[in-house]
Amino acid sequence: MAALVVGGLFSAAFAPQLLLDPGTVVRWGLPIATVASELAIAVTLGGLMLAAFVVRPGVVLSRTLTVSGIGAGVWAVSALARVVFSGANTVGLSLGSEGFGDQLGVYLSQIPSGRALLAIAVIAAATAVLALLVSTATGALWAAVPAVVALVLQSLMGHASGSTSHELAVSAMFMHLVGAAVWIGGLAVIAVLRTRRVLDGDDLAVTVARYSPIASWCFVIVAISGLVNALVRLGGWSGLSTDYGVLIIAKTVLFVVLGGFGWAHRTWVVGKLAGGPAHATALFWRLVAAELIVMGAVSGVAVALGGTNPPDDNAPPVDPTPAYLITGYPMPPEPTFSSWFTQWRWDVLLGFACAAGLVVYLRWVVRLHRRGDSWPWLRTASWVVGMIVMFWVTNGGPVVYGRVLFSAHMLQHMILAMVVPIFLVSGAPVTLLLRAVPVRKDGTRGPREWILAIIGSRYGRFFSHPLVAAINFAGSMIVFYYTPAFEYALSTHIGHILMTVHFTMAGYFFANALIGIDPGPSRPPHAQRLLLLLATMAFHAFFGVTLMSGDILLVPEWFGLMGREWGPTAIADQQKGGGIAWGVGEIPTLLLALIVAVSWSKDDERFAKRRDRKVDREGDLEMDEYNDMLKKLADRDGRS
């Protein structure tokens, strides 16, 4: 709160407005309610994270969920206060003004920000109930889902909503909010549990040791997303001299201090807490107290930033083109071979996911080699190639041209659903995880336990079943392209993210059922796999031919009004996309068929080798019984 007051006074964020001033109570009450709301959601999400991944079942888990529920209750109350203050600030009326109630109703029912804030308050109340009702790690994870949805809604508001770099700003803001909430809230809940004597001795040491790598990932997420947010809004080095830039510098300095505390925890405290020496516990508490104070200061500065106008308002161009009005971006140049690799549109969320997948996989491989175990280099190379290709598809030429050309969108779809999954499945990530990540024996669920639980659940078994995976892989294309889902994926960033995740996972499940070695689906015999592949690809070819011969434009208000001055017409480009859906799908299909055939041959060879070893060890019992039968038949014929 002190940082909020200092930052607000410095940037004049709380100064009276020239027009429609809502009054002193609203000007100060809104940021205070925002700080309380954001710290409360941090406690909620951080506590649910600890319950799902860190603390032991029993009393510790129960108390953790109780703290999370109380935090969610505070979040609901402060979020509701934020709704009222935000409504008063928007309509420019004080809380006691005549007609304020009617104007607040209009704000909550017709203004997008009002509806979003009201939805967040409702979600907070629902999360409080869920957190107090559940009693398991699985329940804690389900209770965290609505809290994450609330952060999605919050990331769509504020400066990110009006930025010309809307998608980049929204992704960065979402990562920033989630990373900060888990980081701050996790440490705060640990502190609360320790002061209540719920965590003590070995429990405290284990909890802190498991929280430490989570905090490290949160530090990286907040750093990357904060850098992207600053670059979007500062508009260059000159922006640092503005009030907004000074607050950015203050927040950066505080953030570096937080990184130093995290390094101190990992270097001095985590290893010493296991033995339980008093000086280590005292050092831990001094660091936690200072770290929580700095975290609160960062939160206060962040809210002051939200109430300060950035130097670069990212205003749209004065004379926007049709492509800009539809997509929010200028029309890219006519595609050439080189432009597919030189045109980039960064998505920090998907890009970070690809980089994190690469880093985690390679760390697991290094961990195996350090303890003397081997891992096939071809599997490592396959995973690396898959991550690189996915990064290019989600940040490079396919996503740039996929917004203006149906054919480019179809190329992106085919690579996500048919090319990337083959490389990822060949990398066998689940098998590597099971070998590299240690088993937990205290009833908690780490990455290994959660993956096994998901694979063994009825939902995991259902979606990974070869027949279901094939139907989902082929049928979801029809559902996607011939329903409003296609337009939603084109026109909204959330729809684009959901489309990317869905088709990548659908292709992964299908490829894993055919050529995977990871545990999970009950894979059919190789002959049935080939039949399933051919049937699915025949349906896929039929879909491509339908697009090639069709003369009705999909999403005409998007592709038909783009105003392109190069390339084919919209309907001709759509027909070209049908050819891509048919033609590009043939190469991955052939590759899958070859891998299935080679796997079939190797299985036959392994079976023959096992039989030969059994014969050498026990004799050929089957052949001996067959010869005995022939001998008996011959003797019977002789007697006849």
> 116: part of which helix (H) or strand (E)?
helix 112-133
Does the structure show a pLDDT above 90 at 76?
Answer: yes
Residue with the bigger pLDDT between 227 and 48: it is 48
pLDDT digits (tens, 9 = 90+) for 164-186: 567 888 888 899 899 989 988 99
The encoded tokens of residue 160 equal: 């990110």
pLDDT at 160 over 60: no
- Residue 587's pLDDT is 75
Strands (E), 507-616: none
What secondary structure, in 3-state letters, does 285-312 show?
A: HHHHHHHHHHHHHHHHHHHHHHCCCCCC
Give mean pLDDT, residues 1-22. 73
**Per residue in 414-443, pLDDT tens?**
999 889 999 999 999 999 999 999 898 888
The pLDDT value given to residue 283: 67
pLDDT-based confidence at 397, cuts 50/70/90? very high
In the prediction, which pLDDT does 603 show?
A: 60
The burial of 40, by beta-carbon neighbours within 10 Å (0-12 exposed, 13-18 middle, 19 or more buried), is given as buried
Query: In this model, does residue 407 exceed pLDDT 90?
Result: yes
For residues 116 and 121, what is the distance between their CA atoms, to the nearest angstrom?
9
Q: State yes or no: pLDDT of 261 exceeds 80.
A: no
SS3 406: helix
Determine what percent of the chain is predicted with pLDDT higher than 90. Answer: 36
| Selected residue with higher pLDDT from 146 and 158 | 146
Q: Which pLDDT value is given to residue 163?
A: 53
Who wins on pLDDT, 588 or 213? 213
Residue 492: strand, helix, or coil: coil
Q: Is residue 222 a contact partner of residue 179, using CB atoms and an 8 Å limit?
A: yes
Question: For residues 567 and 334, is the Cβ–Cβ distance under 8 A?
Answer: yes
pLDDT higher than 70, residue 245:
yes
26 versus 67: the higher-pLDDT residue is 67
- DSSP secondary structure string, 207-246? HHHHHHHHHHHHHHHHHHHHHHHHHHHH-SGGGGGSHHHH
Q: Mean pLDDT, to the nearest integer, of 341-354?
A: 92
CA dist list (Å): 85 to 27, 131, 171, 251: 8, 27, 27, 25
Q: What is the rounded average pLDDT for all residues in the chain?
A: 84
Res 477: pLDDT: 86
Calpha distance 256→254 (Å, rounded): 5
pLDDT tens digits, one per residue of 280-292: 567 677 777 777 7
pLDDT (0 to 100) of residue 307: 66
Quick: pLDDT tens for 568-612: 999 999 999 998 888 776 777 777 777 777 776 666 555 445 555
Mean pLDDT of 360-385: 93
Task: Look up the CATH architecture of domain 2-306.
Answer: Up-down Bundle (1.20)
- The residue extents of the domains of the chain are 2-306, 325-439+446-618
- Give yes or no for residue 232 having a pLDDT over 80: no
Task: Read off the tokens for 414.
Answer: 């085919």
pLDDT band at 64 (very low <50, low <70, confident <90, very high): very high
Q: Write out the E strands in 362-489.
A: none
Give the model's pLDDT for residue 593. 76
pLDDT of the residue at 254: 82
Task: Report residue 392 as tokens.
Answer: 């290019």
User: Is pLDDT above 90 for 43?
Assistant: yes
Give the number of other CB atoms < 10 A from CB of residue 622. 11
Query: What one-letter code names the amino acid at 445?
Result: R
* Mean pLDDT value of segment 369-381: 91
Q: What is the DSSP letter of 568?
A: S
Q: Provide mean pLDDT across the span 148-152.
A: 93
Q: What integer pLDDT is reported at residue 606 of this predicted model?
A: 55
**Spatial contact of 8 and 14, defined as CB atoms under 8 Å apart:** yes
Contact status, residue 506 vs residue 473, Cβ threshold 8 Å: yes
503: Cβ–Cβ under 8 A, 6 or more apart, which residues? 413, 416, 417, 476
Residue 270: which pLDDT band, with cuts at 50, 70 and 90?
low
pLDDT digit string, tens, across residues 83-140: 999 888 888 888 888 888 888 888 888 888 889 999 999 999 999 999 999 999 999 9
Range 328-335 contact pairs with CB under 8 angstroms and sequence separation of 24 or more: 328/164, 328/166, 328/167, 329/403, 331/404, 331/562, 331/563, 331/564, 331/565, 332/400, 332/401, 332/404, 334/566, 334/567, 335/397, 335/401, 335/405, 335/408, 335/567
The values of phi and psi at residue 444, to 5°, are -85, 170
Quick one: pLDDT at residue 138? 92
Q: What is the pLDDT of residue 416?
A: 92
- pLDDT grade for 159, boundaries at 50, 70 and 90: low
Name the band, by pLDDT with cuts 50, 70 and 90, for residue 271.
Answer: low
Q: Is the pLDDT of residue 19 over 90?
A: no
Contact 214, 182 (CB under 8 A): yes
Which of 29-33, 243-247, 349-353, 370-374 comes out lowest in average pLDDT? Answer: 243-247
pLDDT at residue 620 in the model: 56
pLDDT value of position 622: 60
Long-range contacts of 13-18 (CB under 8 A, 24+ apart): 13/304, 13/307, 13/308, 14/307, 17/92
pLDDT digits (tens, 9 = 90+) for 518-574: 887 777 777 787 888 888 888 878 888 888 988 889 999 999 888 888 989 999 999
At residue 496, does pLDDT exceed 80? yes
The amino acid occupying position 51 is A
